[in-house]
Amino acid sequence: MARLPGVETPEQVVCHVDMDCYYAACERLREPELADEPLIVGMGYEAGEMHGAVATASYEAREYGVESAMAISEALELLPRRATADDPTDTGIYRPVDMAFYESVSEDVDEVLDDAAETVRNVSIDEAYLDLGDIAWDDAEAFGQQLKADIEASAGVVASVGIAPNMTTAKLASDADKPDGLVVVEPDGVREFLAPMDVADLHGVGPVTARELREMGFETAADIAAADEAALVDAFGERGRDLYAQARGEDDREVEPKGRPKSLSSESAFLEATTDVAEKREKVHALAVEVAERASAKGALYKTIGIKVVEPPFDVNTRAKSLSGPVDDPDLVTGVALDLLSEFEEPPVRKLGVRVSNLSFDDRDQASLDAWEQPESDGDDTDSDIRERHRSRSSGGQADLSEFE
């Protein structure tokens, strides 16, 4: 975003968080025995097949030349599929993408990020920017270390973190020491940090652009920073202008949330997996109250209420109830969530979550339940059915909800 003449770029402390080999890390979370194994996660891939493309390759698989976006058939030529545990060591393990599971782990990461900073810009399922406000640069490294530790403790995956005065440099910093890296670039060290960086490591530079830059005599970011900007623009258009600014550490963008949220959720883990029904219901009640309060504070209406139940070790179950229209009704959130929880009264549970989704930020007058026409029953519960069953359970053998308040 361009600034008016005479208006200085505001000082920022920007943190970029990037999960290391995220899909592979999630698969290892679910199957710890995959640790240290060459692991390939394929998009459009099915077990035993050759179609699809590599979504993520673990660092062990990359040593064999397997890269993201490579065809699975090509990856199999470099690293054959392991058929049995007795296969030779120069084989890999292939898994299909399980986006629902990866998103559930990402929710755990997001919860840590939201607690760590007031302003978070989620770029993708495994990447985000944080505006650290007025944190002192002397405290930046300690912040990064704590953030990494909190992510691993809460979500079980490892992140690389870069902290710098702007978004572009923060992202380059998070890439600079992967995996499990932490790089802090203070304002007076930006140019020094960028100078030796290979042109191929700059954002938006693929193999073709890197070759063209080298043919023009540019090997490092310092070479580009010292170049004539007009020559870069002539060669690459606006992308050349971006490369010039990037190499000089110039980026006046502010970290801003990316649109309105599509959902709001809250999760909490037990110290140990529990089968205690009252304990589970107490946890869900507290989470439902928290989520409903956050939705009200943001002016959000919701059409879907759901829960997440994680059974040991990381067996993620989700259930949801779609309503007949958008509401702001905390009691209904609690009632639906507890009703959905009833399916999981017996199995041990290590973590629970409550979510409201299909959010709407329209005129809140539409939120009156009394104004709706209830559809004819098709075997599903209506909103009033759930409320009534919720009330009867609370006054019966289940724990009294008033005890949780």
Structure letter (DSSP) for residue 371: G
Cα separation, 333 vs 300, in Å, equals: 13
Q: In 118-260, which ranges are continuous DSSP H helix?
A: 140-155, 167-175, 190-194, 207-215, 221-225, 229-236, 238-247
Cα separation, 298 vs 197, in Å, equals: 42
Contact 103, 125 (CB under 8 A): yes
Residues 6+ apart with CB under 8 A from 55: 23, 41, 42, 43, 68, 97
Considering the candidates 74, 127, 250, 311, report the single residue annotated as catalytic: 127
Listed as own residue / partner, the contacts of 120-125 with beta carbons closer than 8 Å and 24 or more positions apart are 120/255, 120/257, 121/255, 121/256, 121/257, 121/258, 122/257, 122/258, 123/258, 125/22
- What does the block give as tokens for 39? 């692991």
Give catalytic status of residue 250 as yes or no.
Answer: no
CA nearest to 34, candidates 94, 101, 86: 94
Contact 11, 134 (CB under 8 A): no
Residue 206 identity (one-letter amino acid): G
Cα separation, 46 vs 260, in Å, equals: 34
Phi and psi at 265, nearest 5°, equal -145, 165
Q: What dihedral angle (degrees, nearest 10) is formed by the CA atoms of 41, 47, 52, 58?
A: 20
What is the 3-state composition of the chain as percent helix, strand, coil, each rounded to the nearest 5? 40, 20, 35
Contact 289, 265 (CB under 8 A): no
Contact 228, 250 (CB under 8 A): no
Mapping DSSP to helix (H, G, I), strand (E, B) and coil, where does residue 302 land? strand
Cα separation, 292 vs 328, in Å, equals: 8
Residues involved in catalysis = 127
